[in-house]
Amino acid sequence: MGLGYRLFIRPIIALQDSEKAHTRSVKSLRLLSNNTITRSLLSLIYKSRRKLPQRVFDMDYDHPFGLAAGMDKKGEAINGWQSIGLSFAEIGGVTMLEQFGNPKPRMFRSSKHMALVNRMGFNNPGSKNMQNALKRHYSRFGKPNIPLWVNLGKSKLTSNNDAHTDYSTTLKRLWKYADLFVVNVSSPNTPNLRDLQNKDQLAKIISCCMEVNAEQALLHESKQKPILVKVAPDMTLQQLEQIVTVAMDTGCSGIVAINTTVLRTDEFELDEKLAEAGGMSGKPLNEKSTEFISYIYRFTEGKLPIVGVGGIMNAEDAWEKIIAGASLIQAYSGFVFEGPSMTKQIVNGLHKKLKQHNLTNIHDAVGLAHRME
């Protein structure tokens, strides 16, 4: 199916406006996966029969590969992501207030470089509407069979001084439905958002979210939900250390590395699609993502779980991030260029990698490159 997607479906998608093609793809997956018969057919075609169990953040995953934020902003295709074999899905980003995002066009695709540029601006229905949508979904279909993560963003109308209220309000409203939250202070498409990576402001946001997390756990007589921080690639390693230190000091459960980049080399500036303003994702981020994962793993001595995202297109890319130190991995752009069969290809490929290295499970592979030095 992967070859068929590249030969026939991807060329058709390439002729369409990037955002419209994205919307149609998610809606199609939603329709197919909300029907029992077609949902079973999706699983039969795309779901790997291999099991690579991984326990992270006190949750069980069938394998380490999941969906990154941005693909399903509204949580429309929750059934779909588990149907095509992913072991977890991150929806959003979700902001406290509903917002329509930046003016269109705001998404661009370069097949030559297998890269996307977006300046969406956290377009989403807002936390209250998302709360209602998840309530309806759970009422109709029950709790998802895979962990559901929620990416938390800041509303454009909220000042940075009040960012802690924005993030924690969304967390409170969605707490009942999410298994894990990712604090996103690294998107380049909301003005001044990356300023929140400042030590004091980030600590304030996380601390406020932690307070709400504890309150909700007590209210629902349940354990607290893991909270992660997603970092940007456009920073020095010293700045990265500071963010990771804040995350650990405030009780975060892990780091997501990395978000999109606003930087362009000359090669990408010559591509009119990639020269557009916004965050670039896809294959060009692969090396930087692995570099950050490796650095965080060494800096924390492997004690803080890392979720690797950025440029994963195949099993080799996935394996490199895992041995660099990622306990879990995610993709977004890869699905645009490789299609839904990417899940099976990566899971099967990782299974082969374990055999080649005489390892019995994924946990033993995490950080392997450091132990081989």
Measured torsion, CA atoms of residues 129, 261, 306, 45, in degrees rounded to the nearest 10: 70
Contact 195, 220 (CB under 8 A): no
Task: Return phi, psi of residue 362, to 5°.
Answer: -65, -35
Given the residues 25, 83, 110, 187, select the one marked as catalytic: 187
Contact 354, 360 (CB under 8 A): yes
Residue 144 CA to residue 148 CA, distance in Å, equals 7
* Sign for the pseudo-dihedral over CA of 236, 242, 243, 244: positive
Residue 365 CA to residue 293 CA, distance in Å, equals 14
226 prior amide bond cis, ω within 30? no
Residue 307 CA to residue 230 CA, distance in Å, equals 9
Nearest to 69 by CA among 136, 15, 120: 120
Per DSSP bridges, beta strands 279-282 and 115-118 are: antiparallel
Helical axes 127-141 vs 163-174, angle rounded to 10°:
10
83 an active-site residue?
A: no
Active site residues: 187
